[in-house]
């Protein structure tokens, strides 16, 4: 169900606030060892996997066919040397199941968590390795009958995930929670692999519970440094979590577009349907999508690297968190990009609004600690300080805000005729603004 416009209006709140665009904020640095492991995620190595999987020899990796079977073997061979527990059938890496197309196989490997208190909780990171073979009228934009190599879709996600698996194994100690690396088969035929996995979980999951999932599908065509992130509405605070992970410590912060669409177009949907908080990273569609021309040389390898590293950071953040994993937020299923437009709709501050700083914010129920700016009074301290509509406010004077009232209290507490630093997120990146209150107390 869509959030009605009126309900949103009731949440609006006018604040009086002012800026100068300053430096990027310094987020909490990753532990040195995690940084080192993450540095092992390399574009070049991912490129090797993409070139291999998108070679004509795999005949487009169609699930249940010779090429699909060979691709599953390739992935298993890449995982075999790593210190991971096979999580498929009978101690193998393969979870095998039958479909109309033949025998399909997920490739599953587990990194057991280190903390006995939460190691039964599992973070699933997945990418589908199948593609559409030679293409037909149902699954291809043509021309049909030629090998569809699926370099972006989804050799890119598979390559990123293999790199992430190596980085996880390279950590000096595993995260507190368990991490399951899942390479899905049959995605192109209707999310068959991920559905089978949840319907009939492998024995490795017998005494474990999936608390979070991440899906990588098509991460090989980063353009304008812009990454689409799906699913952040599936738990409270996920958008802010991803934004903070994308901070200056990320080395190559990306522009993030948060997409509110929940559609059965990739394996993240399976987990959302099951009520599990889930993110998907995706670099967007293109003219080669589901065509024979989705080839390895067209993949943006240097763009894949920061996406895979952000995924690694996200896995670590969730799997290693001291606090409990965030609960699923069912409202996400009813939200769409139209709901987002409603939330972001411009508001007008009355000319005589008494606000000292000159901002209007609107609470976002999925991100209560990051209110959205929907109005800025011209000439106000916020306006002069460079605040933009649709910025999210995260911190005042270096202190995270806990909710809208807390934001108001913190701004009211700023000494008259002084400046205050305000941390905002804009297109998924962090900026410190300086708002200067010019009014002298009377
Ligand atoms: Zn596809």
Cα 250 to averaged position of ligand 1 atoms, centre (Å): 29
Q: Domain containing 278: what range?
A: 32-323
Cis peptide before 143 (omega within 30 of 0): yes
Among the candidates 323, 352, 370, a domain finishes at 323
Q: Is residue 174 part of a domain?
A: yes
| Residue 155 sits in the same domain as residue 299 | yes
Q: Is residue 329 part of a domain?
A: no
CA atoms within 13 A on the CB side of 402: 3
| Residue 272 sits in the same domain as residue 410 | no
pLDDT of amino acid 438: 81
| Residue 296 sits in the same domain as residue 403 | no
- Provide the CATH number for the domain around residue 233: 3.40.630.10
Cα 126 to averaged position of ligand 1 atoms, centre (Å): 14
Q: Is residue 333 part of a domain?
A: no
| Residue 317 sits in the same domain as residue 352 | no
Which are the contacts of 154, defined by CB distance < 8 A and separation ≥ 6?
127, 128, 129, 131, 187, 216, 217, 218
Cα 242 to averaged position of ligand 1 atoms, centre (Å): 25
As for how many domains the chain has, the answer is 2
Among the candidates 300, 323, 346, a domain finishes at 323
Q: Is 0.85 surpassed by the pTM of this model?
A: yes
Digit-by-digit pLDDT tens for the chain (442 residues) are: 122 223 333 333 333 222 222 222 223 334 788 789 999 999 999 999 999 999 999 999 999 999 999 999 999 999 999 999 999 999 999 999 999 989 999 999 999 999 999 999 999 999 999 999 999 999 999 999 999 999 999 999 999 999 999 999 999 999 999 999 999 999 999 999 999 999 999 999 999 999 999 999 999 999 999 999 999 999 999 999 999 999 988 888 999 999 999 999 999 999 999 999 999 999 999 999 999 999 999 999 999 999 999 999 999 999 999 999 999 999 999 999 999 999 999 988 877 777 899 999 999 999 999 999 999 999 999 999 999 999 999 999 999 999 999 999 999 999 999 999 999 999 999 999 999 998 755 4
| Residue 290 sits in the same domain as residue 371 | no
Cα 266 to averaged position of ligand 1 atoms, centre (Å): 8
| Residue 295 sits in the same domain as residue 230 | yes
| Residue 390 sits in the same domain as residue 260 | no
Among the candidates 283, 298, 323, a domain finishes at 323
Cα 313 to averaged position of ligand 1 atoms, centre (Å): 25
| Residue 316 sits in the same domain as residue 233 | yes
Cα 130 to averaged position of ligand 1 atoms, centre (Å): 8
- Provide the CATH number for the domain around residue 418: 2.30.42.10
Cα 131 to averaged position of ligand 1 atoms, centre (Å): 6
Q: Is residue 24 part of a domain?
A: no
Distance between CA atoms of residues 125 and 73, nearest Å? 19
Q: 207, 178 in Cβ contact below 8 A? A: no
Cα 154 to averaged position of ligand 1 atoms, centre (Å): 7
Cα 99 to averaged position of ligand 1 atoms, centre (Å): 18
Please name the helix (run of DSSP H) or strand (run of DSSP E) that holds residue 147, with its range, or none. none
Cα 247 to averaged position of ligand 1 atoms, centre (Å): 30
Cα 192 to averaged position of ligand 1 atoms, centre (Å): 13
| Residue 272 sits in the same domain as residue 353 | no
Cα 70 to averaged position of ligand 1 atoms, centre (Å): 18
Residue 340, token pair as written in the block: 């987002």
Cα 169 to averaged position of ligand 1 atoms, centre (Å): 29
Residue 282, token pair as written in the block: 């995706």
pLDDT of amino acid 151: 98
| Residue 222 sits in the same domain as residue 347 | no
| Residue 263 sits in the same domain as residue 412 | no
Q: Is residue 26 part of a domain?
A: no
Q: Is residue 23 part of a domain?
A: no
| Residue 349 sits in the same domain as residue 319 | no
Cα 127 to averaged position of ligand 1 atoms, centre (Å): 11
Q: Is residue 188 part of a domain?
A: yes
């Amino acid at each position: 169900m869509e959030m009605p416009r009126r309900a949103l209006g009731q949440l609006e709140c006018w604040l009086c606030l002012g800026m100068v665009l300053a430096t990027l904020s310094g987020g909490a640095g990753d532990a040195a060892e995690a940084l080192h492991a993450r540095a092992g995620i390399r574009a070049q190595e991912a490129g090797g996997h993409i070139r291999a999987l998108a070679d004509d020899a795999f005949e487009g990796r169609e699930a249940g066919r010779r090429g699909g079977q060979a691709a599953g073997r390739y992935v298993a061979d890449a995982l075999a040397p790593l210190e991971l527990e096979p999580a498929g059938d009978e101690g193998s890496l393969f979870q095998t199941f039958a479909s109309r197309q033949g025998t399909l196989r997920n490739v599953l490997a587990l990194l057991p968590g280190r903390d006995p208190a939460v190691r039964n909780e599992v973070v699933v990171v997945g990418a589908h390795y199948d593609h559409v073979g030679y293409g037909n009228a149902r699954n291809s934009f043509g021309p049909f009958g030629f090998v569809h190599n699926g370099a972006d879709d989804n050799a890119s996600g598979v390559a990123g995930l293999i790199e992430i698996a190596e980085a996880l194994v390279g950590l000096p100690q595993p995260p507190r929670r368990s991490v399951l690396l899942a390479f899905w088969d049959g995605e192109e035929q209707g999310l068959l692999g991920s559905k089978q996995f949840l319907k009939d979980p492998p024995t490795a999951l017998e005494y474990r519970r999936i608390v979070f999932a991440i899906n990588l599908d098509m991460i090989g065509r980063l353009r304008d440094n812009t990454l689409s992130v799906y699913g952040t509405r599936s738990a409270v605070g996920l958008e802010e979590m991803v934004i903070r992970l994308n901070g200056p410590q990320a080395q190559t912060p990306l522009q993030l577009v948060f997409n509110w669409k929940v559609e059965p177009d990739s394996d993240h949907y399976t987990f959302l349907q099951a009520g599990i908080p889930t993110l998907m990273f995706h670099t967007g569609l293109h003219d080669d999508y589901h065509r024979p021309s989705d080839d390895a040389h067209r993949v943006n390898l240097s763009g894949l690297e920061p996406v895979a590293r952000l995924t690694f950071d996200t896995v670590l953040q969730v799997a290693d968190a001291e606090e409990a994993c965030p609960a699923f937020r069912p409202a996400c299923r009813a939200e769409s990009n139209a709901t987002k437009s409603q939330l972001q709709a411009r508001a007008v501050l009355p000319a005589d609004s008494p606000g000292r700083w000159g901002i209007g914010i609107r609470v976002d129920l999925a991100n209560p600690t990051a209110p959205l700016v929907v109005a800025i009074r011209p000439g106000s301290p916020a306006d002069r300080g460079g605040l933009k509509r649709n910025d999210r406010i995260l911190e005042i004077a270096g202190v995270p805000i806990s909710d809208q009232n807390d934001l108001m209290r913190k701004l009211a507490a700023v000494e008259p005729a002084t400046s205050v630093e305000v941390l905002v997120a804009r297109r998924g990146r962090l900026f410190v603004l300086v708002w200067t209150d010019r009014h002298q107390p009377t």
